[in-house]
Amino acid sequence: MLKETIIKECLVLLKRDDVKKEIKNLISPLIELILVEIYPYLYFALMFFFIGFCLNLVIFILLIYNKPFFQKMLN
């Protein structure tokens, strides 16, 4: 009973706009710091994704051009 009322009061408190703004102000520097530390890894991940996509595309094109049906169409 007491536990439920405490949880309800906390939820009511968290729904207030001023509390939301304060939590956002406290958390945003931490999030920015984490993002600054992660940016190089994100760039590497995007670079590997792009390279993988290009390699798959080249392999797909090579497979299509080696099929006899497409070789007859191209000649």
Distance from C-alpha of 9 to C-alpha of 73, rounded to nearest angstrom:
73
Other Cβ atoms less than 10 A from the Cβ of 69: the count is 8
Q: What confidence score (pLDDT) does residue 73 get?
A: 64
pLDDT mean over 14-33: 93
pTM: predicted TM-score of the whole model, two decimal places: 0.53
**pLDDT > 70? residue 75:** no
**pLDDT > 80? residue 69:** no
Distance from C-alpha of 2 to C-alpha of 5, rounded to nearest angstrom:
5
**pLDDT > 80? residue 19:** yes
Mean pLDDT of the chain: 89
pLDDT mean over 22-29: 94
